[in-house]
Amino acid sequence: MWYRPGRQVRVLLISTYPPRLCGIAKFAEQLAGRLARCPGFAAPRVMPLADADTMGLYGGPPIVMALDQGRLSDSLQTASNYIKSLDVDVVYVQHEFSFFDGGEHLVAGTLRETGKPVVVTFHTVYDNPPPDLVERVRSLFVVSNTATVPSRVARALLVTRYGADANRVHTIPLGMPDVDLLPSGPYKAMLGLEGRAVLTTLGFMGRNKGVERVLQAMPHMLRRHPNTVYMVIGETHPATRSREQESYREELLGRSRELGLDQHVIFINRCVPDSELLRYVMATDIYLAPYLDRTQVSSYTLNYAMGSGKAVIATPTMYAREVLGGGRGILSDFDDPGALAEVISSLLDNPAALAALSRNAYATGKAFHWNSVICRYAEVLARACPPMMGSPGERWFVAHPEPEGNSGRTCAVARQDQPISGEARCHTVASGRTPAATWARNSTARECRRAPSPQRQEPER
């Protein structure tokens, strides 16, 4: 993470944002909070994307103004001049296709007019997109300095299907709380589930969630493990509710009753606070991700489960194949209820295999913890700010967590004479280029030395 003493990176975040109910809104809130605590960063300002239900609910820091999705063109005209007047170094946009209703070209025009550096995170990248979606994505990409995506498969698709420049696309996973690998027993006791095998699916509910497939498998599984309980945590997705009210959830409740699962399925139909959500996840033995959309390129809930050290059984989506291969999880089609029940039962029958899968998931999932992820977002945002390159001879310092496999420290930035936490690099700016630098451990910033043969440091991709 780059830092110039006496100067902070100031970010304007354009995204859905609480109180709007949206997975990306929650992500944006957590991202803003973490960036605000990063050395070298000011608290981000936020320009939320508001719908009819939330337009009048925003006000006060960190909000600067709300963009009305129902009147996007007019709202962007106002925003253009406002952003120009803001003392910000970089505009950071969260993109989802439903956010702009085909108006990405309008957003791109506004961003171009502001003259500010732009970073865009593309949360959804479709395989085999129609031409109109390609143009929508490209219109934003061409005005951005850098783009990020939440997975390697998303990066590959953005480059091959949408024509993005691979050198400007970075893979950074969606962040989740920093948790230790802990036994589930104490958390089961908190929830009154002692002695039970706990399966969990969480997140906004919609027809692509695939919960009905797990319900179909439950009677088969209960013959071998009658103490099993399945927790379905999360309210209906607002977009699903606007189309069909609660019909999907009502179908799930009806199916559960028909199968005699009243004592074995717990539906929690609400947006669960983070502290409570963590208790549910930590009480879980096996996390189930029966998603129907095989082209899914990211999943916050899957990251959450792996980062909490939970064994995962998932549909082989594009993202699940990326993160669960190599013994980190189990891929199952979920099409055959009996086969799914066998996969779950076999894992519950073998505590050693279940524990090994949990450890393997956690070893990968630690990379999803905010302590690791926020440093990568911060570096991308700081690198997008040309004024932050400074002037020849100016001293810069950059610090990261310890190398992979020994992570856990937050980003630390060293000023002159301050001790360096973890590993840090000290750079001297020369003609606007940042040279390579020696690594220094347990020293002070003053003791950093330039590498004898400087080469430009490329960002991790």
Q: What is the pLDDT along the chain (461 residues), one digit of tens a residue?
A: 444 555 789 999 999 999 998 889 999 999 999 999 998 999 999 999 998 888 888 888 899 999 999 899 999 999 999 999 999 999 999 999 989 989 999 999 999 999 999 999 999 999 999 999 999 999 999 999 999 999 999 999 999 999 999 999 999 999 999 999 999 999 999 999 999 999 999 998 989 899 999 999 999 999 999 999 999 999 888 777 878 888 899 999 999 999 999 999 999 988 888 888 999 999 999 999 999 988 999 999 999 999 999 999 999 999 999 999 998 999 998 888 999 999 999 999 999 999 999 999 999 999 999 999 999 999 999 999 865 444 444 444 444 433 333 333 334 333 333 333 333 333 333 333 333 332 233 333 333 332 233 343 444 44
Instruction: List all residues 6 or more positions away from 374 whose beta carbon is below 8 Å from its beta carbon.
Output: 31, 34, 35, 38, 175, 410, 411
- What CATH number does domain 185-367 carry, 3.40.50.2000, 3.40.47.10, 3.10.450.350, 3.90.550.10? 3.40.50.2000
Strand, coil or helix: 81 = helix
The alpha carbon of residue 392 and the mean position of all alpha carbons in its chain are separated, in whole angstroms, by 37
Q: What is the pLDDT of residue 432?
A: 33
3-state secondary structure of 109: helix
> What pLDDT score was predicted for residue 21?
84
**Cβ partners under 8 Å of residue 201, min gap 6:** 209, 211, 214, 230, 231, 232, 233, 287, 288, 289, 290, 301
The DSSP letter of residue 452 is S
- Residue 60 CA to residue 37 CA, distance in Å, equals 19
Q: Are 411 and 395 in contact (CB under 8 A)?
A: no
Estimate to the nearest angstrom the gap between the alpha carbon of 218 and the chain centroid. Answer: 31
pLDDT at 4: 52
Delimiting residues of CATH 3.40.50.2000 domain(s) in the chain? 2-171, 185-367
Distances (CA, A) of 299 to 60, 61, 295, 302, 330: 31, 29, 11, 5, 16
C-alpha span between 292 and 316 (Å, rounded): 9
| pLDDT for res 55 | 84
Q: CA separation (Å) from 436 to 223, 253, 425, 456, 460?
A: 62, 59, 8, 6, 14
Residue whose C-alpha is closest to residue 110's, from 12, 8, 10: 12
Edge-first strand listing for the sheet containing 311-314: 265-268, 228-233, 197-202, 286-289, 311-314, 330-331
- Provide the strand spans (E) within 257-407: 265-268, 286-289, 311-314, 330-331, 395-400
How many angstroms separate the CA atoms of 243 and 237, rounded? 10
Q: Which CATH class is domain 2-171?
A: alpha beta
The whole-angstrom separation of Cα 159 and Cα 452 is: 36
Name the pTM for this structure.
Answer: 0.82
- 327 touches 357 (CB < 8 A): yes
Distance in angstroms (rounded) separating the CA atoms of residues 9 and 45: 11
- C-alpha distances (whole Å) from 453 to each of 425, 440, 449, 459 are 15, 17, 12, 18
Beta carbons within 8 Å of 355's beta carbon, 6+ residues apart = none
